[in-house]
Amino acid sequence: MSGYLTLRASPAGEVAAVVGPRLLAGIATGPGLVEHRSLWPAPRLLDATQLLALLEEVTVHGRGGAGFPFGRKLRAAVESGRRRTVVVNAAEGEPASAKDCVLLEAVPHLVLDGAEAVARALDVPVVDVVVGHDRPAARHALDVALAERGGSDVELEVHVSRTPFIGGQEQAVLELLEGRDNLPVTAWAPAAVSGVRGRPTLLSNAETFAQVAALLALGPAAYAELGIPGEPGTTLLTVAGDGPHGAVLEVPYGVPLARVLEYCGYDPASAVLLGGYHGTWLPAGGAARLPVSRRGLAAAGLTLGAGVVLPLDPHTCPVSVTAGVAAYLAVMSAGRCGPCRHGLPALAEAVTGLADGDGPAATRRVRELAGLVRGRGACAHPDGTVRLVRSMLDAFPSEVGAHEAGVCTVI
């Protein structure tokens, strides 16, 4: 992890994209197609059976929030026997994430190589690419890259999200592509089974398609040279991406999380919010025992989510931070169901009351509302908010107790 390129890829400000071992290896040479082809050959032409075999030999986990194996999505789409759709989701509504935008700005052709290869394998003539409405630099870079590629046999159509935060959620993206409000709805089947206009839809984020392109170029053995058994390859992390000095870096799976923090200039013993605003808190000192691994983190009740790592400054109160994020999430809801319209504002108010020192009753109210909201929303937004709030209560019991007593231990 050395060298970097500064990009304006985050609503919070500039993000330093660090030269990485694979996807981000060429960011210093420029985003152009000529420079890209000097590092990455054009993808091999594979049919659906060949691509499936490759993805089942080397598992590529999705680099979005769920980390679902890309090969399983592909198999579901293939076995449907129906006309299919391919969607690159680079809407990236999470304010603390900038990795997909960095890819589109710095190495757009790697993302497009992966998307076109998948589309050809599925005999899909058009790929839909969704970019965030608040990421104009990424949209401009994508337009330039598409113009460079010229007469491809796969057409790429660019769409712009219209809704902050929740606009990048899978069902919200599908709604956008069908001409409706860019808001999540209740899903009765995964997109790979029934997506755009009822077709099986292979929808993944930009990094996942870049990883597929890397696998096609390198082959299974070389691709698996980085990473750990069961989790081959690398992953992109956005560290401190909701502040003015965020960084996107690429690390092989298995690298200690504490090393990532230290490399970015943070105390490796810092408390950390993992996974973004719908993520989970890791208390101070916890990073020392954890690797960058979806399985390893899941065993500890944690998640990387979309690869977001938010270190907590030692002079910043986690209870106050959680109250601020909960208030933001309450505003960012679709407002289409009771938990979003009433539950999240009430929960945010209760967490704010706890931060303001309203006593043990505030904590009881927080727990009560969290229990009422969880599992009752039309989408995952209420559950994500509850996850954040509950993890704060679990990770910082002494700080919560201090606030119950009307004081804050962080000065």
The amino acid at 196 = V
Average pLDDT over residues 359-377: 93
Instruction: Give the residue, 215 or 334, on which the prediction is more confident.
Output: 215
Domain residue extents for the chain: 34-223, 318-404
Average pLDDT over residues 179-184: 93
User: Is the model's pLDDT at 5 over the cut of 60?
Assistant: no
pLDDT of residue 114: 97
Least trusted range by pLDDT, from 57-61, 223-227, 255-259, 318-322: 57-61
First vs last C-alpha separation in the chain: 34
Closest to 206 measured CA to CA, from 29, 23, 38, 20: 23
C-alpha distances in Å from residue 199, one per residue of 76, 193, 293, 373 = 11, 7, 33, 32
For 242, list phi and psi in degrees, rounded to 5. -95, 10
Q: Report the alpha-carbon distance of residue 267 to residue 245 in Å, rounded.
A: 15
How are beta strands 126-131 and 4-10 bridged, if at all? unpaired
Q: Report the alpha-carbon distance of residue 410 to residue 135 in Å, rounded.
A: 35
Closest to 202 measured CA to CA, from 274, 118, 110: 118
What is the tens place of the pLDDT at every residue in 269-311? 999 999 999 999 999 999 988 999 998 998 888 889 889 999 9
pLDDT of residue 12: 47
User: Is the model's pLDDT at 8 over the cut of 80?
Assistant: no
pLDDT of residue 411: 64
pLDDT of residue 3: 52
Average pLDDT over residues 100-128: 95
User: Is the model's pLDDT at 339 over the cut of 70?
Assistant: yes
Tokens read off for 89:
């989701």
User: Is the model's pLDDT at 407 over the cut of 50?
Assistant: yes
For 112, list phi and psi in degrees, rounded to 5. -70, -35
Q: Which residues are registered as beta bridge partners of 238?
A: 248, 308
Closest to 16 measured CA to CA, from 29, 34, 4, 32: 4
DSSP character at residue 339: I
For 393, list phi and psi in degrees, rounded to 5. -65, -40
Q: 3-state class of 14 per DSSP? A: strand
Query: If pLDDT is split at 50, 70 and 90, which confidence band does 9 have?
Result: very low
How are beta strands 85-90 and 201-205 bridged, if at all? parallel
pLDDT of residue 2: 46
Put residue 183 in one of left, alpha, beta given phi > 0 → left and psi -120 to 50 → alpha: beta
Average pLDDT over residues 348-364: 95
User: Is the model's pLDDT at 89 over the cut of 90?
Assistant: yes
Length of the chain: 411
Instruction: Give the residue, 39 or 27, on which the prediction is more confident.
Output: 39
Put residue 67 in one of left, alpha, beta given phi > 0 → left and psi -120 to 50 → alpha: left
**What mean pLDDT, rounded, does the chain reach?**
91
Fold of 34-223: Rossmann fold (3.40.50)
Query: If pLDDT is split at 50, 70 and 90, which confidence band does 138 have?
Result: very high
3-state helix, strand, coil in the chain (%, to 5): 45, 15, 40
Closest to 229 measured CA to CA, from 211, 250, 252: 252
User: Is the model's pLDDT at 66 over the cut of 80?
Assistant: no
Tokens read off for 101:
């935008």
pLDDT of residue 142: 94
Q: Report the alpha-carbon distance of residue 274 to residue 298 in Å, rounded.
A: 11
Q: Report the alpha-carbon distance of residue 278 to residue 82 in Å, rounded.
A: 35
Average pLDDT over residues 312-333: 94
User: Is the model's pLDDT at 95 over the cut of 50?
Assistant: yes
pLDDT of residue 1: 43
Average pLDDT over residues 370-392: 92
CA dihedral 236→242→247→251, nearest 10 degrees, is: -20
Q: Report the alpha-carbon distance of residue 326 to residue 281 in Å, rounded.
A: 13
* Domain 318-404, second-level architecture: Up-down Bundle (1.20)
Q: Which residues of 158-168 are buried (b: 16+ CB within 10 A; e: fewer)?
A: eebbebbbbbb
What's the whole-model pTM score?
A: 0.94
Q: Report the alpha-carbon distance of residue 106 to residue 28 in Å, rounded.
A: 8
